[in-house]
Amino acid sequence: MTGNKKRIGALLLALTVLAAGCGGQGKQDGEDPAAGSTAAGMGRYMESVFELPEDMNRNGGLNWLSDGDLTAISFGEGLYRSEDEGRTWKKEETDWFPLLQNVYCLAAVMGPDETVAASCSGGMSQAVRDIIKEPVEEDWEGNYCVFGMPDGEIKVVDFGFSQEDGSCIQSFVFKEDGRLFAGDMQGKIYEVDIEKESLKELFEAEQTAGYVGFSGEILMATGADRLYLYDLEQEVLLSQDQTVDGFISQMLPDGTVSYTGGGFPLAVTGSEEEGVIYIACKAGMYRHVLGGSTMEQVIDGGLSAFGDAYSSIYHVKTLPGQEFMVEFGPSTGLMRYTFDETVASMPDKEIRIYSLEENAAARQAVTAYKREHTDIYVRYEVGLEHDSGMTKEDALKRLNTQVLAGEGPDVLILDGLPMDTYKEKGMLKDIAPLLKGLGGEDELFSNVVEGCTDEGGAVYAMPMCVKVPLLAGSQDVISGMDDLEQIADTVERLREEQPSGGILGIYDAETMLRLFGMVSAPAWTDGSGQMDVRAVETFFTLVDRIYRAELAGAVPAQQERLAKEAEEMEEYGTDPVARRMEACNNVLYIPQKYARIACGYADGIQLCLDTVTSAVNEDETLDYRIFNGQKKNLFLPSSLVGISAGSPRTEDAENFVRTMFGADVQSRVYDGYPVNKAAYQAHFDAMEENGENGSMILTMDDGTEKEFTLYWPDAAQRQKFTAYVEALKEPALTDEYLCGLVYEAGVKVLEDGVSAEDAAAETVKKASLYLAE
């Protein structure tokens, strides 16, 4: 499912950013390739940014034609052509594009002679059936390919992939000489003969192959831990390049070689120099001589768009004169890299940004800031890198040691960090004056700022975005559910009215506790920071009532189906407990007849708020409101920003924070709803009001299936939700350890029959020992 996500505020300008120059130090095998060049001197690559077409959504990457034009095929909009190397674009009508509609398009590319190759998965539209000579079953579903020839001929080819074998053509790539190659979901690489409508298997990767590029007559395909090198002349798979393979393993620690929404985390291309290849990834651009022992960083990801969290790579090409063209995702754009000998190889100033875990919003801000401040090196540090072997405790100890020694980061992303401790020890700077100075397009939601302001008027942490707790169900039911006690009363009443069937559809104690704890935790501590035993006891008592009422009418068959669904989530790497915190997941149980009411947080519009509003549209008896627990009108802060009080670079740190809350960065943040008002509106403006956003198939309680259509929120729904956002008053700031104590004890109350009073007393006792440390 895809929707049109328009780019907001795209600019066409040359930006002096980037990287360690061609003379940067080579990185020996085993060294950190992301460390960058520290050699002093002059010369580095400069980055020129060109906007992609405003309405372009998911696409197959850039295509270089033999006449010098560039093209890109947007799966939702069609063909775009540029006659000036990507600076401007024009949309063109084509005969083949209608055949890519009303189906999921996996790949669509254009060859040097304007031959088009596309792979589609799903049913066949009438336009496709009209092209095929032989009759096709009405309910046929599978994988077919569309080929548009330069002379206007259109072919539709079924290469025999089926739903049963779990595979299909997922990628196409044209070589500069016009030869076409393809990759399937099983990791097989083929050469395609369009005229004969046949595939010739070249080799099979151990897992799914990612980006495919060429170096002369060598086809290069990225794997999870190696680069496959296939000699097209000798038709043989070459020996592995140990240096490149080690580099790829380090750059792809989780084994991901491609992204579902399009693009790749790592791409490879050849060059004018025989035997020399370039690898592009988040760490930057690297030069390597095949068979050699070094990886030379020529563009530093820390000073370029490569380091942007949203910068999946769609296409990379080496241009004459050792220049590069790289197409990133739509939110980043098309970049041209040119070496400038007059610019210092490394900025002479540095600012450090820190987060415990990888933070996409912070990455977005880093990219924007370094474009505007070419004299500053922005070093983004992540405490818990993939496969680092470091525990959270180890990472916090290291950070605290640095801060106390005056060597800590300048800007902190406080998610997961002991923020209260940092505040008490005076380690955070008051940023209230900075926030008050933001106006115009940079104006923030005043209620969110006020919610983060303490009694003395100081702000030590401000979220880049917020998640909004929502409660959905029948209007007459949820209207009286204004706090946790009223929720418990209502659930018990519904159970009396409905002896059998789900109320919330939640049968797991931990999930139940975390869901209601999300909107109750701030009530568990008093003004001094100590835990309030009465508040914790009340929480246990009320959630226990809800849980018992749920179980009292549980239907075993429903429980089994939901348990199987949770198992499938775990198999695909999704935490089912975390998933049940989301309103968009839980609200679907209402039309499926698994539940009467649903609650959870909303953190975006697409496949989130639109799911809630679409459920309400489908059933006029349904409505939604703010989800309250023991506290009311809470918002869940995400990407909390703070400035180190001991930073020697306060002015630069404040400028960086201004960038974080500016409309440009905020409009590209998707970890929640932007706190910048203009960016918040831009998120809605990018959606087609009342337009369809795809559909999904729901399995009903009785085993039947039902199509559920998604629609973008209309003006009334947008206004209603915005009013809820503006009514939020307090951040749900909680200590993860203290919350863990509550949930651990709560499970004993709900499952083992421990009294709420005893569990609360034990929890507060443990908390006191923790707080005294």
pLDDT band at 17; cut points 50, 70, 90: very low
Task: Say yes or no: 601 and 720 in one domain.
Answer: yes
In this prediction, residue 30 carries a pLDDT of 37
Query: To 10 degrees, the CA torsion angle through 277, 280, 285, 289?
Result: -20
357 falls within a domain = yes
670 falls within a domain = yes
412 falls within a domain = yes
Give the mean model confidence (pLDDT) for residues 678-689: 87
Of 677, 703, 728, which one is at a domain's C-terminal end? 677
Give the mean model confidence (pLDDT) for residues 503-509: 96
Is residue 256 helix, strand or coil?
A: coil
| Three-class DSSP labels, 579-603 | HCCEHHHHHHHCCCCCCCCEEEEEC
Tokens 């590029």, located at residue: 213
3 falls within a domain = no
Task: Say yes or no: 500 and 618 in one domain.
Answer: yes
Task: Say yes or no: 433 and 546 in one domain.
Answer: no
> Out of 156-165, 222-231, 315-324, 486-495, which region has the weakest mean confidence (pLDDT)?
156-165
Q: What are the pLDDT digits (tens) for 432-475?
A: 999 999 999 999 999 999 999 999 999 999 999 999 999 999 99
481 falls within a domain = no
Task: Say yes or no: 127 and 163 in one domain.
Answer: yes
> Out of 210-214, 499-503, 573-577, which region has the weakest mean confidence (pLDDT)?
573-577
> What residues have CB less than 8 Å from 728, skipping those under 6 apart?
447, 448, 451, 466, 468, 626, 633, 634, 635
Tokens standing for 736?
A: 């993860």
Of 181, 204, 227, which one is at a domain's C-terminal end? 204
Name which of 57, 112, 48 is nearest 80 in CA terms: 57
Strands 673-674 and 104-110: unpaired
DSSP 754: -
In this prediction, residue 493 carries a pLDDT of 97
Task: Say yes or no: 279 and 185 in one domain.
Answer: no
Q: What are the pLDDT digits (tens) for 147-165?
A: 999 999 999 999 988 756 6
Decide if pLDDT at 1 tops 70.
no
Q: What are the pLDDT digits (tens) for 97-145?
A: 999 888 888 999 999 999 999 999 888 888 888 888 778 888 788 889 9
12 falls within a domain = no
Tokens standing for 660?
A: 């974080």
Task: Say yes or no: 597 and 560 in one domain.
Answer: yes
> What residues have CB less than 8 Å from 211, skipping those under 6 apart?
221, 222, 257, 258, 264, 266, 267, 268, 313
CA angle 328, 330, 156 (to 5 degrees): 90
Tokens 């080819």, located at residue: 157
Task: Say yes or no: 659 and 691 in one domain.
Answer: no
Name which of 729, 685, 638, 678 is nearest 439 in CA terms: 678
Strands 59-64 and 26-28: unpaired
9 falls within a domain = no
Q: What are the pLDDT digits (tens) for 585-626?
A: 999 999 999 999 999 999 999 889 999 999 999 999 999 999
Answer whether 632's CB lies under 8 Å from 482's CB: yes
Q: What are the pLDDT digits (tens) for 307-359?
A: 775 568 999 999 998 899 999 887 778 999 999 898 888 888 899 999 999 88
DSSP H helices in 319-359: none
* Most confident of the ranges 163-172, 204-213, 238-247, 345-354: 238-247
Tokens standing for 321?
A: 């004169």
Of all residues in the chain, what percent carry a pLDDT higher than 70? 93
> What is the tally of structural domains in the chain?
4
Task: Say yes or no: 508 and 436 in one domain.
Answer: no
Residues pairing with 300 in the sheet: 284
Q: What are the pLDDT digits (tens) for 376-406?
A: 888 888 898 765 678 888 998 899 888 877 7
25, 324, 763 from 272: Cα distances, Å: 21, 12, 67
**Amino acid found at 23:** G
Q: What is the Cα 32 distance to its own chain's centre?
A: 25
482 falls within a domain = no
d(CA 412, CA 37): 25
Task: Say yes or no: 85 and 183 in one domain.
Answer: yes
CATH of the domain at 554: 3.40.190
Q: What Rg do the C-alpha atoms of the chain give, in angstroms? A: 28
Tokens 């839980």, located at residue: 586
d(CA 522, CA 632): 10
In this prediction, residue 242 carries a pLDDT of 96
Decide if pLDDT at 658 tops 90.
yes
195, 276, 337, 393, 582 from 130: Cα distances, Å: 20, 47, 45, 63, 43
d(CA 144, CA 168): 8
pLDDT band at 35; cut points 50, 70, 90: very low
Answer whether 310's CB lies under 8 Å from 304's CB: no
Q: What are the pLDDT digits (tens) for 750-764?
A: 999 999 999 999 999
Decide if pLDDT at 674 tops 50.
yes
Task: Say yes or no: 587 and 730 in one domain.
Answer: yes
Task: Say yes or no: 609 and 737 in one domain.
Answer: yes
d(CA 294, CA 734): 47
Name which of 45, 72, 68 is nearest 297 in CA terms: 45
d(CA 634, CA 261): 32
CATH of the domain at 387: 3.40.190.10
Residues pairing with 203 in the sheet: 189
> What residues have CB less than 8 Å from 55, skipping those under 6 apart?
4, 6, 74, 77
Give the mean model confidence (pLDDT) for residues 696-721: 89
pLDDT band at 20; cut points 50, 70, 90: very low
Range of the domain at 580: 487-637+680-772
Answer whether 333's CB lies under 8 Å from 52's CB: yes
Give the mean model confidence (pLDDT) for residues 271-280: 94
In this prediction, residue 39 carries a pLDDT of 43
Of 161, 176, 204, which one is at a domain's C-terminal end? 204
CATH of the domain at 252: 2.110.10
Of all residues in the chain, what percent carry a pLDDT higher than 90? 63
Give the mean model confidence (pLDDT) for residues 370-381: 84
Decide if pLDDT at 16 tops 50.
no
Task: Say yes or no: 117 and 257 in one domain.
Answer: no
What's the mean per-residue pLDDT of the chain? 88
